[in-house]
Amino acid sequence: MAAETKIHNIKDKKDKLIYAGQEHILKYYDKLSLKQREDLLSQILSIDMSLVNELIAMGMTAKEPHPHLEPPCIIPIQDKRYQQAKGKGEEALKDGRIACFVVAGGQSTRLGYNLPKGTFEVGPVSSKSLFQYHAEKIAAMNNRYNTNIPWYIMTSKENDTQTRDFFQRHDFFQLQTKDVIFFEQGMLPAIDFDGKLIMDSPDHIAMSPNGHGGSLLGLKESGALDDMRRRGIKEIFYFQVDNALVKIADPVFIGYHLLEKAEMSTKVVSKIRPDEMVGVVGYINGRLGVIEYTELNDEERYAVNADGSLRFKAGNTAIHMLNVEFVHRLVRDGFHLPYHGARKKIPSLDKHGKLQKPHEPNGIKFETFIFDALRYAKHSVVMEVNRKEEFSPLKNISGQDSPETVRHDLINLYTGWCKAVGLEISDCPIEISPLFAMDSDEFVQRIIDKELWTQPEGLYIGSTG
Ligand code: UTP
């Protein structure tokens, strides 16, 4: 009966689809089994076709005129309010007002890794995964501030089960299970260059996660935002799963955000060269946001200040503070960030119904970006941090931002800490567990306190692999 009704429904739906010019998605319908028909039908019914039609129209139209850009006001690395900010952030952590939130729903296309990116092993000596690093940092903050920071993890339909299984298998890395909360982000269909939905099997439309900006609506729709409010969380420390050096719940950043009564804040690093492929934080037609590197024209890209520094130097790290009530206000009425279309290689059925992996982009995926929320914040803090200490994302299989550079950056960081206590380790990769020390100062203290001049637990010195 259920199937019959649904088949009837799909016939109705077919009219609408024909009207929308998408009748090809029912091309194989008559050859499908009942189960496949049901699956296809429920997928069709779950898609917001009016939004998709808007996106198709957007994807086919010309770009907006070039905006007017201005650099932001940046809190420098050496700032006189550093200690005050740190104290303020520590207070918030001790009071249990801070949650951590990692977005881990991406597809890792450039890395070419089929499992969730957080499971990728980056530890230069220990081979620990990104997720383990992040979990240990949160556990270390819990110990340091005698608190229980809840950790929200956004996954997607494609990697949710694998992510949860990974945490189960590792016993949640000693974190309390009630404080690790997973939820799935939304998905959107991909279109080809003629505005047609792409099929990746006879009973399935190709879908992809709706971007890290989808996290804001995801927080609401999953109930995570309400959960935060129930727990008395006031501010969210947002980060992306691929940054191995992220200083999770950094009290200094939290402190500045609180001192400025900011609604959304961001950490930046100085660009290393004008043509570095990183988005820059700045004012876009008067509103704070991130300008993608492809959107800067040459004049802006190479512009310098009187002291010779780059005018647009504030590289986006995708580390943010978000005020819970700000997020609530944004998503209360089904708010959407603007969509960005990107040309991608999307596996699709050829005219014989066979799945093909294209070598060139064959369609457009639509995403929203978290940094587009900056423009809605009444106040924001833009804080500069040291790239070598806080930013090393895993994006590509080789070259820039690859497993090799991430491991190299980790070794560099920890070697620096060792040098600070006079430990000279040559020709040997070194790694320090966040459970042993979270930063150089703590490392020095731990070594002095415990007189640990032999190799202590959590300090791994050894060969890679
Ligand atoms: P990227 O934009 O770098 O995408 O995501 P990616 O999936 O890691 O890699 P590519 O582009 O497919 O090669 C930056 C961060 O945002 C998350 C990712 O998991 C990563 O932490 N993200 C991205 C989501 O959570 N959902 C999305 O839809 C997109």
The DSSP line for 19-64 is HHT-GGGGTTGGGS-HHHHHHHHHHHHHS-HHHHHHHHHHHHSPPP
Residue holding tokens 């994807």? 59
The answer to whether the CB of 150 falls within 8 A of the CB of 121 is no
Q: Count CB-CB contacts under 10 A for residue 107.
A: 17
Residue 12 has pLDDT above 70, yes or no: no
Q: Identify whether residues 316 and 218 lie together within a single domain.
A: yes
Asked if 275 and 358 sit in the same domain, the reply is yes
Same domain, 288 and 360: yes
290 and 209 within one domain: yes
Contact 118, 166 (CB under 8 A): yes
Domain boundary among 397, 415, 449: 397
What does the pLDDT look like over 216-231, one tens digit per residue?
A: 999 999 999 999 999 9
Give Rg (Cα) of the chain.
24
Among 380, 397, 414, identify where a domain stops. 397
- Say whether both 151 and 252 belong to one domain: yes
Please check the confidence at residue 259 and state whether its pLDDT lies above 60.
yes
CA distance 378 to 264: 8
What is the whole-number distance in angstroms between the Cα of residue 37 and the centre of ligand 1?
31
How far is residue 341's CA from residue 63's CA, in Å, rounded to a whole number?
11
Kindly give the distance from the C-alpha atom of residue 316 to the centroid of ligand 1, in angstroms, as a whole number: 14
Ligand 1 neighbour 288 (Cβ under 6 A):
no
Domain hosting 171: range is 64-397
The SS3 assignment for 293 reads: helix
Query: 131, 434 in Cβ contact below 8 A?
Result: no
Number of folded domains in the chain?
3
Whether the CB of 27 sits within 6 Å of ligand 1: no
Q: Is residue 172 over pLDDT 90?
A: yes
Closest Cα to atom 18 of ligand 1: 106
Would you say the CB of residue 185 lies under 6 angstroms from ligand 1? yes
Closest C-alpha to ligand 1, atom 1: 106
Residue bearing the bigger pLDDT, 320 or 336: 320
33 belongs to a structural domain: yes
Amino acid residing at 395: K
Q: Is 242 in the pocket of ligand 1 (CB under 6 A)?
A: yes
Domain annotation covers residue 437: yes
For residue 219, how far is its CA from the centre of ligand 1 (angstroms)? 17
Reading the block at residue 181, the tokens are 């909360």
Q: Confidence band (pLDDT; 50, 70, 90) for 421?
A: confident
* Nearest protein CA to atom 7 of ligand 1, as residue: 106
**What pLDDT, on a 0 to 100 scale, did the predictor assign at position 1?**
42
Element at 412 (helix H, strand E):
helix 403-420
Asked whether the beta carbons of 75 and 382 are under 8 A apart, the reply is yes
Q: Is the CB of 278 inside a 6 Å radius of any atom of ligand 1?
A: no
| Pair 413, 308 in one domain | no
Amino acid at 35: K
Q: What was the pLDDT predicted at 456?
A: 54
Neighbours of 432 (CB within 10 A): 26
Select from 131, 152, 240, 401 the residue to mutate for testing ligand 1; criterion: most ligand atoms less than 8 Å from CB: 240
Q: Is the CB of 241 under 6 A from ligand 1?
A: yes
Residues 162, 242: one domain? yes
Residues 6+ apart with CB under 8 A from 186: 209, 210, 214, 217, 218, 221
pLDDT confidence of residue 464:
40
